[in-house]
Structure 1
Amino acid sequence: MALKETLKQKIEEFRPRTTRLVKEFGKVKIDEVTIDQCIGGARDIRCLVTDISYLDPQEGIRFRGKTIPETFEALPKAPGSKYPTVESFWYFLLTGDVPTPAQVDEVCAEFKKRQVVPSYVWDTIRALPRDSHPMVMLSVGILAMQKDSKFCGFYNSGKFNKMTAWEYVYEDASDLVARIPIVAAFIYNLKYRGDFQIAPDPSLDMGANFAHMIGQCEEYKDVARMYFILHSDHESGNVSAHTTHLVHSALSDPYYAYSAGLNGLAGPLHGLANQEVLDWTLKFQEKYCKDKEPTKELITQALWDTLNSGQVIPGYGHAVLRKTDPRYTSQREFCLNTPGLKDDPLFKLVAMIFEVAPGVLTEQGKAKNPWPNVDAQSGVIQWYYGLREWDFYTVLFGVGRALGCMANITWDRGLGYAIERPKSVTTAMLEKWAEAGGRQ
């Protein structure tokens, strides 16, 4: 495939850069580690490398150097849509190049071949208790496909070569990205639609096909395209991306690695947050705006009541960002440009909270970042379109995040990154160095 050949050329051109940095400049210091970083989750320690995306505190996420608006503007659009196809974005993440329409068509055709999910995967998922969490089903479904891993087969063949290993990761990664929306739609239909399954439509791109398979309306095709792209990557330090990278650094194949990444994504401090934000917003609406229009005065007082009771405002604040998350802004713009959605009571409430909350949080003085993140908006859109089984929202996140994780580990193998193995210290050591004013 032309995409794989393009990627091969780029990897071979890139390798000397990494080799030179390690060989000639390996001892150059780029950061220092403090005790609070050591205990506090390695926050802000610069020790991961990725060229797929970068999270700037002021600009937000950049995909291959482009902001979200620049990415949406540059990539070829789906027919009749203002949004790019996920396939065009996959090409862009892997290569850094904006694909031509012909190159996008080639990826779409390739995904159609790859998206056939083995029947044993359906049997495995169906064997789980029907009330299992959908993220358990997704993680198990991805892991079940490991049996046919091309990378694992290559490693076990006795012909393993670290210079060409990336090619087999690419094959697994491409299979996984093509199949994961099929698996996700199957899980949704199994759990919430009485196991009424809709076959994939070979004429549709990935986002549109997902909407089709879960019985959604025409408008939702753009929701899926936008959602999967926005949630694809957030540099390498977040739990799902880092876990995938860590597991794959042991030469575990992409299925092992991403199943592990999904398990991290399922946590309430990561991918589950959008579900919790929506739950809070619905309860907030019921308590304060059941029969009232959400005015600034009403919402201001309600937010102060919330904070004074010891609660937080979910969806506001971010570990890195120090302004409104551009992913929030993109989804807000979608709502404002969609008739019906912009007048939806729940969206109007979220929009009013957006106008008021940053000022309230700034006045309170406890929040480092009083601005909304992606989770403050995403659940509202799903709710509007009738996808109200919010324990499925993290599965949607997982479909999108596969794009970034799989692009990253393909490049990890292409550049031959080592197994990740940080050095640990004891609390006694930290106490000794603290008394001495530093490690001697």
Structure 2
Amino acid sequence: MKRISQIAPEVIELSEKCIKNNNIDPALYKKYDVKRGLRDINGNGVLTGLTEISEICSSKIVDGKEVSCDGELYYRGYNINDIVSGLNGRRYGFEETAYLLLFGELPSSENLHSFLSLLSEYRKLPTSFVRDIILKAPSSDMMNTLQRSVLTLYAYDKKANDTSIPNVLRQCLQLIALFPLFSVYGYQAYNHYYSGNSLFIHQPVANYSTAENILHCLRPDGKFTATESKILDIALILHAEHGGGNNSTFTTHVVSSSGTDTYSVVAASLGSLKGPKHGGANIKVVEMFENIKENIKNWNDEGEVRDYLSKMLDGEVFDKSGLIYGMGHAVYSISDPRANIFRSFVKKLSLEKGCDEEYTLYSMIERLAPEVISEKRKIYKGVSANVDFYSGFVYKMLGLPTELFTPIFAIARIAGWSAHRLEELINAGKIIRPSYKNVCERKDYIDIENR
């Protein structure tokens, strides 16, 4: 019997036929005014729904004209800058942010205490779940482990198909609480069975925040600094939500609109986030910087750095894709507010970790890349660093393995997905069904003897 991953010669031959008979003339997309990617030429998304959960602003109306502006991000009407600064450097804010996204209002101290207690209670996995589900079938891809764990929870839930709001909220809260454990335990299994390292499973600490528990469960000694846990908490806040139109959140709306169960919806959203064009982008940024550091002799030489970035855009170096990863965004033009917030915390962590020279290189490339891109490309809006530009660097300094970079994104974004799933169900919209125009000519049927 052939292994499942082997591609038979017959399949390779059939794939050539598949490619040949599925090529659509690119000119037809313009002819029929198809908004590829559900976006127009300026990058504006096609309006497909309404939401109160978050808002992304990249332009303003001045004297009757739309002009680009510094990016702004609002959670339930509150500016993300105010949410982060409102923590005053003392509180952990991801759980507070999750409460805001889910329930539409900032929690009081009493509300927050009750919410934290609820999440702590839901942080308990079913008996033998780690042994039977995570340890017995380790995967080299933690997003696969996350999906599998989420879908397996269906079998443990006696009300898995109940889409009433109280039940869906209960399921969402459990997933918010359990995502860190699925991710970290999945990595520990992989690290043991694939890499031969010691296996250890730490239980979460009841009064720890999500960020603290991630670091506690990941590290052999369970220890971390206040700066480390704080910047990871900020990362979770910044990744928790980003409008209803991003690929994974739109997937949440699309699949929820069919009336299916919560576990199927979240598994589908995880599949979307796993893609390198979405949640996996920060890994590409780290890989790109490793390549840059290896090939640039003097990190302080702007001319040498600029030349290498130019070669990167020309597809001559790194992965030859012609891209500078971490630069540009589908919506933001002048700036990504998440990157702006992250920058100051990144600088502080880089000093603590002795990575200040590397931070200086990041800052230089953040400044030079937009200039090089504007010289080489025809662009319709500004280009600036996005949140992925710095997040991979942060995770690397925190000692997080690259296998967990995208799961960390998911650990944060499950809060936003949950809010959008509830919004979709509460507003009872129609099943989402966009239109595709057929451009294949009609043909007369041919009997099998005459083919």
Normalising by the residue count of structure 1, what TM-score does the alignment of the two structures yield?
0.80
Q: Secondary structure at the match of 2:189?
A: helix
Deviations 1:2-44, CA, capped at 9 Å, x for gaps: xxxxxxxxxxxxxxxxxxxxxxxxxxxxxxx986763512122
**Change in CA separation of 1:309 and 1:253 when aligned onto 2, cut-off 3 Å:** closer
Partner of 2:387: 374
Q: Secondary structure at the match of 1:61?
A: strand
Asked if residue 297 in structure 1 is aligned to residue 303 in structure 2, the reply is: yes
Choose the corresponding residue for 1:124, options 128, 133, 150.
133
Asked if residue 250 in structure 1 is aligned to residue 258 in structure 2, the reply is: yes
**Contact 2:203–2:217 under 8 Å retained in 1:** yes
Aligned-residue offset at 1:246: 1.4
**Alpha-carbon distance in structure 1 between the residues aligned to 2:116 and 2:368:** 43
Q: Which runs of 5+ in 1 are unaligned?
A: 1-32, 156-164, 430-440
Q: Secondary structure at the match of 2:253?
A: helix
Choose the corresponding residue for 1:420, options 420, 432, 438.
432
**Change in CA separation of 1:235 and 1:119 when aligned onto 2, cut-off 3 Å:** same
Moved more, 182-191 or 250-259: 182-191
Question: What is the identity percentage for the equivalent residue pairs of Structure 1 and Structure 2?
Answer: 24
Deviations 1:255-278, CA, capped at 9 Å, x for gaps: 111111101111111111111111
**Change in CA separation of 1:308 and 1:412 when aligned onto 2, cut-off 3 Å:** closer
Choose the corresponding residue for 2:109, options 98, 101, 115.
101
Asked if residue 204 in structure 1 is aligned to residue 208 in structure 2, the reply is: yes
Aligned-residue offset at 1:82: 4.2
Q: Superposition pairs for residues 42-121 of structure 1, below 5 Å?
A: 42-43=38-39, 44-57=45-58, 58=69, 59-74=71-86, 76=87, 81-82=89-90, 84-121=92-129
Q: For this pair of structures, how many residues does the alignment match? A: 380
Q: Which runs of 5+ in 2 are unaligned?
A: 1-28, 40-44, 59-68, 192-196, 317-321, 442-451
Aligned-residue offset at 1:120: 4.9
Deviations 1:182-236, CA, capped at 9 Å, x for gaps: 2122122222363211111112122212221112522321132112111111111
Moved more, 392-401 or 308-317: 308-317
**Alpha-carbon distance in structure 2 between the residues aligned to 1:383 and 1:37:** 43
Give the aligned CA root-mean-square deviation in angstroms: 2.3
**Alpha-carbon distance in structure 2 between the residues aligned to 1:342 and 1:187:** 30
Normalising by the residue count of structure 2, what TM-score does the alignment of the two structures yield?
0.79
Q: Secondary structure at the match of 2:352?
A: coil
**Alpha-carbon distance in structure 2 between the residues aligned to 1:191 and 1:88:** 32
Partner of 1:265: 273
**Change in CA separation of 1:357 and 1:198 when aligned onto 2, cut-off 3 Å:** same
Q: Secondary structure at the match of 1:313?
A: coil
Aligned-residue offset at 1:418: 2.5
**Alpha-carbon distance in structure 1 between the residues aligned to 2:333 and 2:91:** 27
**Alpha-carbon distance in structure 1 between the residues aligned to 2:133 and 2:426:** 32
**Alpha-carbon distance in structure 2 between the residues aligned to 1:84 and 1:69:** 15
Asked if residue 134 in structure 1 is aligned to residue 142 in structure 2, the reply is: yes
Moved more, 210-219 or 349-358: 210-219
**Alpha-carbon distance in structure 1 between the residues aligned to 2:33 and 2:409:** 28
**Alpha-carbon distance in structure 1 between the residues aligned to 2:91 and 2:364:** 26
**Change in CA separation of 1:36 and 1:355 when aligned onto 2, cut-off 3 Å:** farther
Partner of 1:362: 374
Asked if residue 395 in structure 1 is aligned to residue 407 in structure 2, the reply is: yes
**Alpha-carbon distance in structure 2 between the residues aligned to 1:273 and 1:257:** 22
Moved more, 255-264 or 140-149: 140-149
**Change in CA separation of 1:103 and 1:206 when aligned onto 2, cut-off 3 Å:** same
Q: Secondary structure at the match of 1:54?
A: strand
**Change in CA separation of 1:260 and 1:194 when aligned onto 2, cut-off 3 Å:** farther
Q: Secondary structure at the match of 2:55?
A: strand
Higher-helix-fraction structure: 1
**Alpha-carbon distance in structure 2 between the residues aligned to 1:98 and 1:393:** 29
Choose the corresponding residue for 1:145, options 153, 176, 179.
153
